[in-house]
Amino acid sequence: MLAAALGAALTFGAPAALAGTAPVGPSGSPASAPAAAPKAAAPASQSATWAAGTRAYLVITAPGDSSAVRSAVTANGGTVFSSYDAIGVIVAHSASGTFAQTMRGVSGVQKVGATRTSDVPADAYNPALPANPAQSTTPAGEPVRADMSQIKADQAWAVNAGSAAVKVGILDTGMDDQHQDLAPNFNAADSVSCAYGKPDTRAGAWRDVDTHGTHVAGTIAAAKNGKGVVGVAPNVKISAVRVAEPGNSFFFAENTICGFVWAGDHGFKVTNNSYYTDPWQFNCPDNEDQAAIIEGVTRAQAYAESKGSLQVAAAGNENYDLAHKTTDTASPNDSTPVTRTITNACLDIPTELPGVVTVAANGTGTTKASFSNFGQGVIDVAAPGQDVYSTLPGGKYGSKSGTSMASPHVAGVVALMVSADPTLTPAQIRARLATQANDIPCPSDSRCTGTTANNAFFGEGQVDALKAVGGSTPPAGKYFENTADFAIGDNTTVESPITVTGVTGNAPATLKVGVNIAHTYIGDLKVDLVAPDGTVYTVHNRAGGSTDNINQTYTVNASSEVANGTWKLRVNDNAGGDTGKIDSWNLTF
């Protein structure tokens, strides 16, 4: 779900991590993984002494008093690591190879399943706090990015930028709460680590063990403070719920269960879930272990929803048809994956659970991102997921691509929707998302089945932040785009043309110029819009220093220019050592 490898899992010293939602990049090659964050000194042990061969299990029983089943866990060679009596789920650890089978015969036990095919790490019993990274600063200025203007978030802010009474839970790799763009909206009181399957409420336990969660957080609610970027809902409160384990960023079922229960108990109106529950890309009900995972996470999601929390989740990055499942080649990703035949009964969790909003990724404009999973009747809505620029740990910023980047746009729209109408239930929010989404017809691709109103690639369509806050969409202007690539060499000037026809009179005072340039060190670049009569309007003048890529929409007062004619985007590279390309650009009159 994160930023750079088509259908590939992001490796962190383990077979896979952030699987199915890992970063994807233009080349389709796996993204390089950042080094694991250094760990702080560990506190005193919180639980039993670790032993090699210890595995984690979900023991499913009736909701309510689980004391008898918990006693049976202990009597049959296990320990109770955590329990959630409200949903009848116990997280048990055992080094006994017969534990699961024995427990399945205990009175009152409905299901038992191993949640991983690897040992529980020793860190589970003595968790180290993630590092608190040193913070860098960014120059003033936060231009509106293309992804925000695409879903009309920039127009929504003028109506309602979100309410501080709305709490959003970010279930992910953690969050850098010290980041200059996140600190104003960070909610420490409701932040936690759910790694290993039980809440760790120590200050800082929620911090990022990768970069993924911090990036997602910025898309949802980076503050509108004149720095860096602006999130979809820049005034709402965000809480970090770290469900990823350090060192490998695996999201096991017990971690997700902990996160959903926490969300319900702490009043989160929406959670974002840009991951799938490791180690199974798809959990099949005819497998006893996976059946327990399905049941446990389903109960936790239903519990959160019963408390008023809506879950939004990324569809995944394998370019896979979730409505016609045939094989799974990526599971289990915590040991040795094997190829297995599957059916539609096998579920990508949590994104395919009942009640969860499943989000596909748009590429440039309203196209399908090449990596995005799809499926008629599975995808609910779509949002921008290509080259999304957002926050990174240490006060930094960067671009990532993936359905992981699309999902937080939708979570942010939900946060705006609830800010405008706090009485909305999860069911009502789902209905409004569907009716407010802007339809996207299928392209010429036989895999895209359905209608313009609802199809396999985009579901109900692309979300609309302006509609979410009750704003009215202005009449659509004429839109022109050039998607051809133009290489930008060292110390060269390149121009990409757009011929405008059929527009009466002059260009508007609010001409929108969407620019998508892939180039390392954008401080080398000067970018101009050249009108048909040769008048030059500078939109970027060697700002940004070592930042990579320009992906944003500029507003130009071109009211003195005749609209029809050939407009050009002129890019001048003023230094050696860094090159790139004009990937695409557009004009909206």
Enumerate the active-site residues.
172, 212, 404
With residue 494 as reference, give the H or E element that holds it.
strand 493-500
**Residue 303 DSSP one-character state:** H
DSSP codes, 50-87: P-TT-EEEEEEE-SS--HHHHHHHHHTTEEEEEEETTT
With residue 410 as reference, give the H or E element that holds it.
helix 403-420
What is the C-alpha separation between 393 and 398, in angstroms, rounded? 10
Say which amino acid occupies 354.
P
Cβ-proximal residues to 220 (8 Å cutoff; 6+ apart), any chain: 168, 170, 231, 232, 233, 236, 238, 272, 408, 411, 412, 415
What is the C-alpha separation between 223 and 229, in angstroms, rounded? 8
- Residue 376 near residue 313 (C-beta atoms within 8 A): no
Half-sphere exposure of 253 (CA within 13 A, CB side): 35
What is the C-alpha separation between 212 and 5, in angstroms, rounded? 14
Helices and strands, counts by H and E, the chain: 10, 24
Burial class (CB in 10 A: 0-12, 13-18, 19+), 546: exposed
Q: Is 537 helix (H, G, I), strand (E, B) or coil?
A: strand
Q: Is 310 helix (H, G, I), strand (E, B) or coil?
A: strand
Half-sphere exposure of 401 (CA within 13 A, CB side): 27
Tokens representing 37 are: 């964050």
Burial class (CB in 10 A: 0-12, 13-18, 19+), 320: buried
Q: Which of 463, 519, 474 is nearest to 492 (CA)?
A: 519
Burial pattern 338-374, b for ≥16 Cβ within 10 A else e, equals: eeeebeeebbbbbbbbebbbbbbbbbbbbbbbbbbbb
Q: Is 412 helix (H, G, I), strand (E, B) or coil?
A: helix
Burial pattern 407-416, b for ≥16 Cβ within 10 A else e, equals: bbbbbbbbbb
CA angle, corner 33, sides to 322 and 358, nearest 5? 25
Say which amino acid occupies 314.
A
